[in-house]
């Protein structure tokens, strides 16, 4: 379902410190990468990191912005993942009248989420999918957020 949004930004950005994860031939999203993100898109990685950052309650400003992720062709579900954080924060639908700040907030969560993700992938290596799956099952079971 295509929805009209208010003041949606043109792009999402990540910080230069994380650029190698997105852009290089050896990036996580490269089809030959050994990570769980092999073959996925830059925006999939960013949204994942954002959710992880939000779950941990960690966010930080994005320095040296690399605005490479167009918002216009982002699926509605991913847009609403971003907007649901804003709605949970403001508890007011009026916050949807200007979406731009929510996307900036999403970038801030992703900025920290990527750091957490690096440590998880370093720690779990090829077993990361198993670890993630177990954690997600746990969240669904207890409905509390327990990722370390």
Partner 1 sequence: MRFTISSIEMTNYRQYQGKQTLDFSFDKNKNVSIILGQNGAGKSNLLNALTWCFYGKEIHNDQQAKGTDGMPIINVAELDALEPGRSTFAEVVVSICTNTGQWLIKRHIDVLKDDLGKLHFDQPQLTVIYPFDGQDKIVEGDETQRLINNLLPEALRQFFFIDGEQLREFFRISNPTEIAKAIDNVSQLELVYKAAENLEAYENQLRKNVKATTPQLQKVQQKIQILKGKNEKAKESLQKNKEELEKDISELAQVEDYLRKHNDAVVSKLQEEREQSEKDIKSLNRHLKDAELERNGYLVDTAPYILLKDEIESAYSLIQQKVEKGDLPPRIRETFVRELIDSGRCICGNEIKENEKHNLESYSRKLELSELSEVCFGGNVTLGEILSDIKEFPSKIDQLNRKIEEFKDEYDEKKRRLDYISETLKKHNIEEIRAYEERRKKLTNGINKNENLIKMLEAEITTINKDLDEALSEERKELSKDKKNAQLRAKLQLVQEALKTLAGTEYIIKSKIRKQVERTTKENFLKLIRKKEAFKDIVIEDTFDVKVIHSQGYNAINDLSAGEYMIFGLSFMSALMTISGFHAPVIIDTPLGKIDDEHREQITTELPKFLQGTQLILLVTPTEYDDTVRKNLQEYLLEENFFKIVENESKTISKVISHGH
- Give the nearest distance from C-beta 100 to partner 1 in angstroms: 14
Q: Which two tokens stand for residue 95?
A: 């916050």
Quick one: which of 16, 70, 119, 137 contacts partner 1 (CB under 8 A)?
137
| 97 lines the binding site for partner 1 (CB under 8 A) | yes
DSSP SS3 for 67: strand
- Give the nearest distance from C-beta 146 to partner 1 in angstroms: 11
In degrees rounded to 5, what are phi and psi of residue 101? -60, -30
Q: What angle in degrees, to the nearest 10, is found between the helix axes of 128-142 and 100-124?
A: 120
Quick one: which of 7, 10, 16, 26 contacts partner 1 (CB under 8 A)?
26
Q: Which stretch binds partner 1 (CB under 8 A): 9-17, 40-48, 62-70?
A: 40-48
- What's the CA angle centered on 89, arms 86 and 93, to 5 degrees? 60
User: What are the C-alpha distances in Å from 89 to residues 9, 17, 29, 60?
Assistant: 20, 28, 31, 17
| 145 lines the binding site for partner 1 (CB under 8 A) | yes
Residues that bind partner 1 (CB under 8 A): 1-6, 25-26, 36-40, 44-45, 47-48, 50-52, 54-55, 76-81, 83-85, 87-88, 91, 93-94, 96-97, 129, 132-133, 136-137, 139-140, 143, 145, 147
């Amino acid at each position: 379902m295509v929805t009209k949004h208010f003041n949606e930004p043109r792009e999402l950005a990540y910080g230069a410190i994380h650029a190698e994860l997105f852009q290089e031939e050896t990036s996580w999203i490269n089809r030959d990468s050994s990570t769980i993100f092999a073959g996925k898109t830059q925006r999939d990685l960013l949204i994942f990191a954002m959710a992880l950052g939000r779950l941990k309650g960690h966010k930080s400003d994005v320095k040296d912005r690399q605005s490479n992720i167009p918002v216009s062709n982002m699926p509605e579900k991913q847009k609403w993942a971003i907007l649901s954080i804003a709605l949970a924060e403001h508890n007011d639908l009026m916050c949807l009248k200007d979406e731009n700040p929510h996307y900036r907030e999403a970038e801030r969560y992703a900025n920290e989420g990527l750091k957490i993700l690096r440590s998880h992938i370093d720690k779990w290596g090829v077993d990361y999918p198993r670890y993630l799956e177990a954690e997600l099952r746990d969240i669904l079971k207890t409905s509390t957020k327990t990722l370390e």
